[in-house]
Amino acid sequence: MKPVLSGCAALAVLGLACTANVDVIHPAGAAPDGGTGGSSSSNTSGLAPGSSSQLATSNAPASSSAWASSAATSAASTSNGLTGIDVAPAACDFGHVVVGTTATCTVTITNHNADMPRMITGMAFTSESSSDFSAPPFLPPLAIPAGQSHTVSLTFSPSAVTLRTGAFEISDGTALTPHVVPVTGWGTSADDLVIVLTWNVEAADLDLHLVRRGGPAGLPFTNDDCYFQTCRNGAGAVNWGAVNPTLDIDDITGPGPENLSWRPPLAGEYEVGVHFFAGVTQPVTARVRVYQGDLPIADAERTLQACNEFWHVALLDISSTFAVTDLNTTAADTHGSCN
């Protein structure tokens, strides 16, 4: 069932660049591995063992690809399989990256043992991982001194307009199983429309909608609405032109993401909406991000209070440019499966 949002924040129209600060802890006498697709600035020379510094990273490829820089979405560290070792982030989500450009995610491996080094014997992407992901060559073994850290720059350089997935494995000589860092990234083109919905309650069922305002009906839950019943995986009743929008999944247990893409979109006026369909009786906070290619053009968040609430997020006016107008209103609806 779908949660309903309460409390609202106005839609934010975003700029064209993104930077991120990454905590870097150097092992004595060692330097972090290099990567591609980003730049950094930090005076980290001469750091004492166990000390740390902040490394400011940014990504500015030839096209407008600033959003995807150092795009690790989970800051939590995990230590499955590796004794005394933490790895952060727990996963790398590179976001939407224009084909032909590169985004970077920095993985930090920390040895928490107080009095002994930890030997890393292997670091590599699994054989099932997309070749669009890469890491610097690894020459084993790598000794991480007690209380020190080592960084590895993972990169994503999409070769096609599609979702890519993979896993980066880190092994040491004592672990029964390697530590696994899942990686995901979307290849996109500069003029694609991409809309991403996420929310904060796993049992909640929220749905993403894109309504064609100029269509015969022009309303949600009709053939002028791209949502789970009409355009999931490109199949259904939506037939707006030679190329139609596509919804990748209908996530009925949360917390997303649900990704709607249109490559390229037809000119016109469209409304972005979110429906609290089923799942829970508590409030649920939803977030909607809108991209032109990999360039974020809008970011909105609102808390829905109850099932069958429909959030009218924003209007998109697509012509030679993408214009966004904030709506940020809610209305009651009856299309959900509410308890």
d(CA 286, CA 200): 7
What Å distances lie between residue 224 and 228, 239, 245, 261, CA to CA? Answer: 13, 9, 11, 16
Write down the pLDDT at residue 175: 56
* Residues 126-184 pLDDT 10s: 999 999 999 999 998 899 999 999 999 999 999 998 889 999 999 986 656 789 999 99
Decide if 275 contacts 204 (C-beta within 8 A): no
pLDDT at residue 328 in the model: 96
Predicted TM-score of the model (pTM): 0.63
pLDDT band for 191, please (50, 70, 90 cuts).
confident
The better pLDDT of the pair 118, 206 is held by: 206
Burial of 115 (0-12, 13-18, 19+ CB in 10 A): exposed
pLDDT of residue 65: 29
User: Poorest-confidence range of 5-14, 58-67, 272-281, 287-296?
Assistant: 58-67
Kindly state the DSSP code that residue 26 receives in the 8-state scheme: P
What domains, with CATH codes, occur in the chain? 5-12+190-332 (2.60.60.30), 19-58+65-188 (2.60.40.10)
pLDDT at 238 over 50: yes
CB 302 within 8 A of CB 330: yes
